[in-house]
Amino acid sequence: MTRPLRLSTLFLRTLREDPADAELPGHKLLVRAGYIRRAAPGIYSWMPLGLRVLRKVERIVREEMDAIGGQELSFPALLPREPYEATNRWTEYGPNLFRLHDRKGVDMLLGPTHEEMFTLAVKDMFSSYKELPLTLYQIQTKYRDEARPRAGLLRGREFIMKDSYSFDVGDDGLDEAYQRHREAYIKMFDRLGFDYVIVHADSGAMGGSASEEFLAVSPVGEDTFVRCEASGYAANVEAVVVPRAPAVDEATVAATPAAHVEDTPDSPTIATLVSQADALHPRSDGRGWTAADTLKNVVVLLTHPDGSTEPLAIGLPGDRDVDAKRLEAQVAPADWRPFEAADFAAYPMLAKGYIGPGVLGEERSSGIRYLLDPSVAEGSAWVTGADEHGKHVFDLVLGRDFTADGTIQAGEIREGDPSPDGAGPLTLARGIEMGHIFQLGRKYAEALDLKVLDENGKLVTVTMGSYGVGVSRAVAAVAEATHDELGLVWPRELAPADVHVVATGKDAAVFDHAGGLVDQLAAEGVEVIYDDRPKVSPGVKFKDAELLGVPTIVVVGKGLADGVLELKDRRTGERQDVPVDAAVEQILAAVRPGA
């Protein structure tokens, strides 16, 4: 027996208009269909139908975690500072961490993830290798003060996550725990019902080694990932490691003319430079200069979590931009922003628009660390800034005429770029990060001194993995992936109900029959939304049913006089008339296709 939800009393108001503050179609529909409501930027309330979907996601996650022996517990969201101080995350998290004082002035925080708490709990309770392996998890509300909360539940400031942690005595154990999670995640995401891809991931601020993300493939995703059809390689764009270009052969370098400075008036951009380069200094090989022949030097300002700042210069071919997210991943936990007028003022040797390797590098006049894109080969010749307004230098050869302090993986990755494994070209697509599995290694165990006795009675540091699933985000991701122009289209396992029964017209017999059907279905354990609103037109009722997105819609209306009901599949739009006597049986078959 499952209590039916009657629309005459359900706390629900559907909207015909898109909400002003929603950007993505799935988000708009979740608000229009009354599943969620915005309480503050990046903070949402769950209305009755939304909460049902959320609970179903939680159930799937819980079942798959239990199946790999995960043990559920629940840590507080409001936490003391000390453990996060010990791992330096109190500082590293920067402004993303919600910090507060209690009435005694004690520093506290709202937990963004709980590595510290889990590590300390295991340290306190377990002491021997015999008690490991161990996998603990929680499904819990977390907090991150995102600079740009986005798209409702997709990037919120208060959100629900499953976070789990594995504890092992050695790297092999960690590998196994990682694989177990990987398989559990595959089952979980298969059940959630959207296309996803598993990509190599940058480990970001978390520190550690092996790391993969589960991305819901979606044009509205915030993450860009690459795939190589030939090899199956897939990676988050932040995690792509562009191989170092092979050095230019010595003969070619020897044949390159000596570097020479030319007047290039009014050419502070690559485009303006290239447009006049042929006239100024034709290439010896006869083909014209292109942006790819120029070396662009981009200067940014890093802000470290402790508030200190540091400039950084990046040299890369002029036809390629710095990728904001790749750079972010490389400099984390620092933030970065482009150099601004005030920054240039502090470094007068930087001629804006004409910056070159002559002043860049820790050993040169600016003292600014200078890193090159790996595609800039040793021995390659470039047109680049001559550090004087209106002047560029030509035939400047890396290794012969200039050097840098190292390389950086911050240049953009483009469709058709070679796969790092050499197997073929890359394609690009976008995705929503739904899960992250991650070999933390010993970072947290070392910081918090989590050791156990091994077989020989020796204290060894425990190895840990950390594994996350965006539970509230999954509701949004499914909405984005499965909606159509009429409304939400829930996969059966997540739908707020199994069946949406619509009674139309004013005929009491229709409502009597529909009510009886609803009771019969409820008695069978079927979850029913029943549109029993007496004075609402059939058109509005049908529109609401499409909008709410329950997989099976049953219409009890005019057909009843002829002994038939209408069954409609929300996803396919397929309709069929069903004799009244066979209705329950056919609805059950639709609701439980496997049974």
Query: Which CB sits closer to a second copy, 108 or 197?
Result: 108
Stretch that binds a second copy, among 139-147, 173-181, 288-296, 477-485 (CB under 8 A): 139-147
Tokens 């269909």: give the residue.
33
Specify whether the CB–CB gap between 239 and 227 falls below 8 A.
no
Alpha-carbon distance of 484 to 547, in angstroms, equals 9
Of the candidates 142, 204, 289, which has an alpha carbon nearest to the alpha carbon of residue 213?
204
The binder of a second copy chosen from 9, 308, 456, 572 (CB under 8 A) = 9
User: How close are the terminal C-alpha atoms of the chain, in Å?
Assistant: 18
Provide the minimum distance between the beta carbon of 46 and a second copy in the complex, in angstroms, as a whole number: 4
Stretch that binds a second copy, among 4-12, 199-207, 228-236, 570-578 (CB under 8 A): 4-12
The binder of a second copy chosen from 23, 72, 421, 449 (CB under 8 A) = 72
The answer to whether 561 contacts a second copy (rule: CB under 8 A) is no
* Amino acid (one-letter) located at 431: G
The binder of a second copy chosen from 7, 29, 31, 47 (CB under 8 A) = 47
The answer to whether 152 contacts a second copy (rule: CB under 8 A) is no
3-state secondary structure of 311: strand
Rule CB under 8 A: which of 161-190 touch a second copy?
none
Stretch that binds a second copy, among 38-46, 184-192, 202-210, 370-378 (CB under 8 A): 38-46
Provide the minimum distance between the beta carbon of 498 and a second copy in the complex, in angstroms, as a whole number: 18
Provide the minimum distance between the beta carbon of 289 and a second copy in the complex, in angstroms, as a whole number: 45
Of the candidates 124, 158, 169, 117, which has an alpha carbon nearest to the alpha carbon of residue 138?
117
The binder of a second copy chosen from 88, 91, 141, 303 (CB under 8 A) = 141
Query: Which CB sits closer to a second copy, 124 or 562?
Result: 124
The answer to whether 21 contacts a second copy (rule: CB under 8 A) is no
The binder of a second copy chosen from 7, 31, 136, 434 (CB under 8 A) = 136
Size of the site for a second copy (CB under 8 A): 54
Tokens 């919120």: give the residue.
156
The answer to whether 145 contacts a second copy (rule: CB under 8 A) is yes
The answer to whether 307 contacts a second copy (rule: CB under 8 A) is no
Specify whether the CB–CB gap between 174 and 465 falls below 8 A.
yes
The answer to whether 506 contacts a second copy (rule: CB under 8 A) is no
Contacts for 447 with CB less than 8 Å, ≥ 6 apart: 86, 87, 88
Alpha-carbon distance of 429 to 415, in angstroms, equals 9
The answer to whether 79 contacts a second copy (rule: CB under 8 A) is yes
Give me 451's structure tokens. 């050791």
Rule CB under 8 A: which of 91-130 touch a second copy?
95-96, 98-100, 102-103, 108, 110, 117, 121-122, 124-126
Provide the minimum distance between the beta carbon of 92 and a second copy in the complex, in angstroms, as a whole number: 15
Paired with 39 in beta bridges are none
CB 518: neighbour CB atoms within 10 A? 23
3-state secondary structure of 115: helix
The binder of a second copy chosen from 4, 7, 27, 44 (CB under 8 A) = 44
The binder of a second copy chosen from 21, 23, 39, 523 (CB under 8 A) = 39
CB 584: neighbour CB atoms within 10 A? 16
Alpha-carbon distance of 125 to 114, in angstroms, equals 17
The answer to whether 34 contacts a second copy (rule: CB under 8 A) is yes
Query: Which CB sits closer to a second copy, 2 or 256?
Result: 2
The binder of a second copy chosen from 76, 257, 265, 416 (CB under 8 A) = 76
Of the candidates 1, 2, 4, which has an alpha carbon nearest to the alpha carbon of residue 514?
4
* Amino acid (one-letter) located at 274: V
Alpha-carbon distance of 43 to 207, in angstroms, equals 28
Specify whether the CB–CB gap between 470 and 152 falls below 8 A.
no
Specify whether the CB–CB gap between 335 and 301 falls below 8 A.
no
Give me 243's structure tokens. 């191989």
Provide the minimum distance between the beta carbon of 491 and a second copy in the complex, in angstroms, as a whole number: 22
Query: Which CB sits closer to a second copy, 5 or 517?
Result: 5
The 404-443 site mask, x for binding a second copy (CB under 8 A), equals ----------------------------------------
The binder of a second copy chosen from 18, 25, 51, 59 (CB under 8 A) = 51
Interstrand relation of 260-263 and 391-397 (parallel, antiparallel or unpaired): antiparallel
Of the candidates 293, 278, 298, which has an alpha carbon nearest to the alpha carbon of residue 356?
298
The answer to whether 77 contacts a second copy (rule: CB under 8 A) is yes
Provide the minimum distance between the beta carbon of 102 and a second copy in the complex, in angstroms, as a whole number: 5
Alpha-carbon distance of 249 to 256, in angstroms, equals 11
Provide the minimum distance between the beta carbon of 534 and a second copy in the complex, in angstroms, as a whole number: 10
The binder of a second copy chosen from 29, 60, 68, 134 (CB under 8 A) = 134
The binder of a second copy chosen from 64, 92, 115, 158 (CB under 8 A) = 158
Contacts for 400 with CB less than 8 Å, ≥ 6 apart: 253, 256, 379
- The maximal CA–CA distance of the chain, rounded, in angstroms, is 96
Query: Which CB sits closer to a second copy, 47 or 408?
Result: 47
From residue 221, how far is each of 196, 217, 387, 434 by CA, in Å?
11, 7, 40, 10
Stretch that binds a second copy, among 2-10, 264-272, 283-291, 393-401 (CB under 8 A): 2-10
3-state secondary structure of 196: strand
Specify whether the CB–CB gap between 502 and 546 falls below 8 A.
no
The binder of a second copy chosen from 21, 40, 241, 288 (CB under 8 A) = 40
The binder of a second copy chosen from 21, 23, 73, 249 (CB under 8 A) = 73
The answer to whether 147 contacts a second copy (rule: CB under 8 A) is yes
Buried b (16+ CB within 10 A) or exposed e, 222-242: bbbbbbbeeeebbbbbbbbeb
- Which residues here bind a second copy, judged by CB under 8 A? 3, 9-13, 34, 37, 39-40, 43-48, 50-51, 54, 66, 69, 71-80, 95-96, 98-100, 102-103, 108, 110, 117, 121-122, 124-126, 134, 136, 141, 143, 145, 147, 157-158
